[in-house]
């Protein structure tokens, strides 16, 4: 429920302007790709051939959330899905702070992570419930730099497993909704994350500062900040963190609208400077079993995926005029070397893939 934006991304169809001719066009299939941030919980008959056509493999990222019945995870779905095509899928486990006051919290969390790493997890995701949702017994929102989590980071360092961190939200969540903002629709539909209307939620600055301290205090832990580290509205903010923290890298999924809102030449220079630490991700996914869908729904889903991946490719690889989440922009026209790094090589290095 809380992750509903994924499905909206797939369902909503965006309009895009007619492409201008691109003299040095790179064919999509020639660049090997890894979607480092996907939520394909369930298998699809069309997905293996779709991914092969795109020359893409995919990291299936679990998310741990609080539900009415306690912690909710989808690890089992992802694990089942990954085993259907081990050549196409990798796994990412998840961690949540619920129950952090228990003396054996870290020990139990490590035990579970160990099992899932042994079952193939290459990374562990922490989500925005750190900072914005989950409270300890004293009623404090648990920030990601909480010392009670430290044994878990030590364990992950010892295993060489990176953390994918979706901490905080776009700045828009702490502001009055602006219909021009790329995240307007999400907060309209998910008011529980519109921090502007929920004064108990700590400030954007508080959560980002805790995240920064955590990265700084764990220089041997590789931290992949999802969604441009929730600083997607300003690549300068991202750059300042990348300059300070050598163990930090970023993933760009579901924030292309924020990038498109900024000057393309500036964003292109940002990609050039940090080309070894930017990873492609989409945040696309599914939530229904194939057997409960009609042929029309499946065809529609595949068509939308094709359009959406194509739009992201055009933004990164071409100099086409296009529109993403209502933001009119021009493609970044990244060169082949940078595209190869962002689309796959950086993920291969971070996750130690073949």
Residue 44 near residue 20 (C-beta atoms within 8 A)? no
Instruction: Decide if residue 169 touches Zn ion (CB under 5 A).
Output: no
Nearer to Zn ion by Cβ, of 125 and 333: the residue is 125
Query: Closest distance between Zn ion and the C-beta of residue 169, in Å?
Result: 12
Q: Which two tokens stand for residue 278?
A: 């930017």
Q: CA–CA separation, 178 vs 334, rounded Å? A: 30
- Report 61-90 residues binding Zn ion (CB under 5 A): none
Query: Closest distance between Zn ion and the C-beta of residue 263, in Å?
Result: 27
Nearer to Zn ion by Cβ, of 34 and 322: the residue is 34
Nearer to Zn ion by Cβ, of 134 and 318: the residue is 134
Long-range Cβ pairs for the range 24-27 (8 Å, 24+): 25/318, 26/317, 26/336, 26/339
Q: Which two tokens stand for residue 34?
A: 């890894």
Instruction: Decide if residue 283 touches Zn ion (CB under 5 A).
Output: yes
Nearer to Zn ion by Cβ, of 145 and 283: the residue is 283
Nearer to Zn ion by Cβ, of 106 and 124: the residue is 124
Kindly compute the dihedral angle of the four CA atoms of residues 45, 47, 53, 54, in this order, to the nearest 10 degrees: 170
Q: CA–CA separation, 333 vs 303, rounded Å? A: 25
Question: What single DSSP character describes residue 237?
Answer: H
Q: For residue 333, is it left (φ>0), alpha (ψ between -120 and 50) or beta?
A: left
Query: Which window, 13-21, 97-105, 263-271, 275-283, contacts Zn ion (CB under 5 A)?
Result: 275-283
Closest CA to 216 of 191, 183, 189, 240: 240
Query: Closest distance between Zn ion and the C-beta of residue 83, in Å?
Result: 21
Nearer to Zn ion by Cβ, of 275 and 282: the residue is 282
Query: Which window, 64-72, 113-121, 168-176, 277-285, contacts Zn ion (CB under 5 A)?
Result: 277-285
Query: Which window, 144-152, 276-284, 300-308, 315-323, contacts Zn ion (CB under 5 A)?
Result: 276-284
Q: CA–CA separation, 143 vs 339, rounded Å? A: 34
Q: CA–CA separation, 306 vs 288, rounded Å? A: 19
Residue 99 near residue 105 (C-beta atoms within 8 A)? yes
Residue 113 near residue 124 (C-beta atoms within 8 A)? yes
Nearer to Zn ion by Cβ, of 7 and 50: the residue is 7
Query: Which window, 40-48, 70-78, 137-145, 283-291, contacts Zn ion (CB under 5 A)?
Result: 283-291
Query: Closest distance between Zn ion and the C-beta of residue 191, in Å?
Result: 19
148 Cβ contact list (under 8 Å, min separation 6): 100, 105, 106
Q: CA–CA separation, 191 vs 196, rounded Å? A: 9
Nearer to Zn ion by Cβ, of 212 and 283: the residue is 283
Kindly compute the dihedral angle of the four CA atoms of residues 29, 35, 41, 42, in this order, to the nearest 10 degrees: 10
**Per-residue contact track with Zn ion, 98 to 127, x per CB under 5 A?**
------------------------------
Nearer to Zn ion by Cβ, of 8 and 102: the residue is 8
Q: CA–CA separation, 100 vs 77, rounded Å? A: 26
Query: Closest distance between Zn ion and the C-beta of residue 319, in Å?
Result: 29
Secondary structure percentages of the chain, helix, strand, coil, to 5:
45, 15, 40
Query: Which window, 15-23, 195-203, 281-289, 339-347, contacts Zn ion (CB under 5 A)?
Result: 281-289
Query: Which window, 132-140, 147-155, 259-267, 278-286, contacts Zn ion (CB under 5 A)?
Result: 278-286
Query: Which window, 145-153, 232-240, 282-290, 296-304, contacts Zn ion (CB under 5 A)?
Result: 282-290
Query: Closest distance between Zn ion and the C-beta of residue 61, in Å?
Result: 6
Residue matched to tokens 């209502």: 326
The count of chain residues that interact with Zn ion, using the rule CB under 5 A, is 1
Query: Closest distance between Zn ion and the C-beta of residue 199, in Å?
Result: 26
Nearer to Zn ion by Cβ, of 116 and 283: the residue is 283
Residues near Zn ion (CB under 5 A) = 283
């Amino acid at each position: 429920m809380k992750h509903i934006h994924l499905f909206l991304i797939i369902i909503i169809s965006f309009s895009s302007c007619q492409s201008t001719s691109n003299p040095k066009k790179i064919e999509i299939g020639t660049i090997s790709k890894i979607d480092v941030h996907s939520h394909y919980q369930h298998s699809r008959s069309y997905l293996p051939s779709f991914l092969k056509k795109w020359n893409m493999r995919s990291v299936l990222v679990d998310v741990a959330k609080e539900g009415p019945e306690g912690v909710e995870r989808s690890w089992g779905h992802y694990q089942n899905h990954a085993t259907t095509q081990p050549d196409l899928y990798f796994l990412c486990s998840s961690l949540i702070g619920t129950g952090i006051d228990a003396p054996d919290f870290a020990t139990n969390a490590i035990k579970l992570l160990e099992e899932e790493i042994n079952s193939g997890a290459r990374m562990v995701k922490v989500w925005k419930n750190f900072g914005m949702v989950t409270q300890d017994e004293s009623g404090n929102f648990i920030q990601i730099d909480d010392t009670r989590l430290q044994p878990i980071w030590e364990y992950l360092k010892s295993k060489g497993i990176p953390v994918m961190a979706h901490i905080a939200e776009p700045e828009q969540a702490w502001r009055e909704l602006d219909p021009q903002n790329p995240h307007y629709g999400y907060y309209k539909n998910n008011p529980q994350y519109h921090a502007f209307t929920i004064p108990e939620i700590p400030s954007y600055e508080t959560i980002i500062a805790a995240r920064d301290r955590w990265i700084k205090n764990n220089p041997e832990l590789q931290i992949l900040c999802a969604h441009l580290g929730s600083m997607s509205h300003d690549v300068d903010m991202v750059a300042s963190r990348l300059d300070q923290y050598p163990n930090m890298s970023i993933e760009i999924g579901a924030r292309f609208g924020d990038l498109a809102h900024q000057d393309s030449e500036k964003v292109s220079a940002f990609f050039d400077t940090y080309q070894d630490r930017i990873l492609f991700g989409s945040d696309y996914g599914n939530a229904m079993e194939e057997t409960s869908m009609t042929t029309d729904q499946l065809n529609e889903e595949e068509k939308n995926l094709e359009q959406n991946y194509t739009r992201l490719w055009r933004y990164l690889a071409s100099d086409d005029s296009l529109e993403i989440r209502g933001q009119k922009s021009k493609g970044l026209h990244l060169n082949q070397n940078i595209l190869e790094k962002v689309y796959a090589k950086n993920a291969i290095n971070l996750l130690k893939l073949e």
